[in-house]
């Protein structure tokens, strides 16, 4: 895969994220919240940890001889499981984070953003149990049930790596009405799994999907710095605006 193709898919992910979330937030009458939302969700969506675990999944599928139809079916259920479990985790976190004063959100964003940038520059892994996850991915049968089981496991693996943007986002929205919190969590997680959909459907083949995901892993330092910078920027804005 050429560098031009890699950039094309990354731009597609970002533009789709911006367009989708901006449209829904505008319909909700929350245009003012779009910049913050994009900073949180994109910093999580382009998190290299996501691409690391997805690479395990794609490599495991590549050695099991699936047809394209089977690949799409198994891949969809994997992504669906990640979405549901991450969403449920978010609901649980909102009950706890809602007790934290909203004024702390800016400090949390700066701290987590700094941590993400430093660990990225030093190339320190923030993914929990990568060895166990890799072993499980290769030992699990390429079935819908196997994909769902792996998807739920992946969510707990990702949490230590991506909890920074997620927690800060929750601390900001947790003080809204319960129905709106649930809706905003659903939207956030849709953007979070969007790169997985793009990789699965837009790259043309399992080989290209695997190569693209591996490329993102190779650029984990740059992605971590970008993710941390987005989070630090919104944290600084929250602090300066007194929000």
Q: What is the pLDDT of residues 64-116, one digit of tens each?
A: 667 777 777 888 888 888 899 889 988 888 888 777 777 777 788 888 888 87
What's the rounded mean pLDDT across residues 222-242? 79
Place of tokens 């459907």: 201
Instruction: Using the predicted structure, report yes or no on whether residue 128 has a pLDDT greater than 90.
Output: no
The reported pTM is 0.76
Please tell me the predicted confidence (pLDDT) of residue 231: 80
Confidence band (pLDDT; 50, 70, 90) for 184? Answer: very high
Report the alpha-carbon angle 52-55-57, nearest 5: 115
Please tell me the predicted confidence (pLDDT) of residue 142: 65
Q: Where are the domains of the chain?
A: 3-241
Count Cα atoms within 13 angstroms, Cβ side, for 213.
Answer: 26
As a whole number of angstroms, the distance between CA 223 and CA 228 comes to 8
As a whole number of angstroms, the distance between CA 148 and CA 151 comes to 5
Please tell me the predicted confidence (pLDDT) of residue 74: 82
DSSP letter for each residue of the chain: --HHHHHHHHHHHHHHHHHHHHHHHHHTT-GGGHHHHHHHHHHHHT-HHHHHHHHHHHHHHHTTT--HHHHHHHHHHHHHHHHHHHHHHHHHHHHHHTTS-GGGHHHHHHHHHHHHHHHHHTT----TTHHHHHHHHHHS-SSHHHHHHHHHHHHHHHHHHHHHHHHHHHHHHTTS-HHHHHHHHHHHHHHHHHHHHHHHHHSSSHHHHHHHHHHHHHTHHHHHHHHHHHHHHHHHHHHHHT-
Please tell me the predicted confidence (pLDDT) of residue 26: 93
Instruction: Using the predicted structure, report yes or no on whether residue 62 has a pLDDT greater than 70.
Output: no
Place of tokens 């591996």: 214
Please tell me the predicted confidence (pLDDT) of residue 185: 92
Whether residue 14 contacts residue 182, with contact meaning beta carbons closer than 8 Å, is answered with: no
Q: 83 or 6: which carries more pLDDT confidence?
A: 83
The number of residues making up the chain comes to 243
């Amino acid at each position: 895969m050429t560098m031009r193709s890699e950039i094309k898919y990354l731009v597609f992910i970002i533009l789709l994220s911006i367009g989708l979330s901006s449209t829904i937030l505008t319909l909700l009458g929350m245009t003012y919240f779009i910049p913050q939302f994009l900073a949180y969700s994109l910093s999580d969506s382009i998190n290299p940890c996501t691409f690391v675990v997805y690479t395990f999944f794609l490599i495991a599928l590549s050695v099991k001889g699936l047809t394209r139809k089977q690949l799409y079916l198994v891949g969809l259920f994997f992504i669906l499981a990640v979405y549901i479990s991450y969403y449920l985790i978010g609901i649980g976190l909102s009950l706890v984070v809602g007790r934290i004063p909203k004024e702390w959100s800016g400090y949390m964003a700066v701290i987590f953003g700094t941590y993400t940038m430093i660990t990225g520059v030093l190339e320190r892994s923030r993914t929990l149990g990568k060895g166990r996850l890799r072993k499980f991915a290769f030992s699990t049968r390429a079935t819908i049930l196997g994909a769902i089981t792996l998807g739920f496991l992946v969510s707990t693996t990702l949490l230590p790596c991506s909890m920074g943007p997620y927690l800060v986002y929750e601390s900001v929205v947790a003080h809204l009405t319960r129905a709106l919190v649930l809706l905003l969590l659903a939207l956030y997680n849709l953007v979070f799994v969007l790169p997985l959909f793009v990789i699965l459907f837009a790259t043309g083949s399992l080989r290209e999907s695997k190569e693209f995901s591996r490329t993102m892993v190779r650029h984990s330092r740059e992605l971590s710095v970008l993710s941390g910078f987005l989070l630090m920027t919104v944290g600084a804005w929250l602090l300066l605006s007194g929000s």
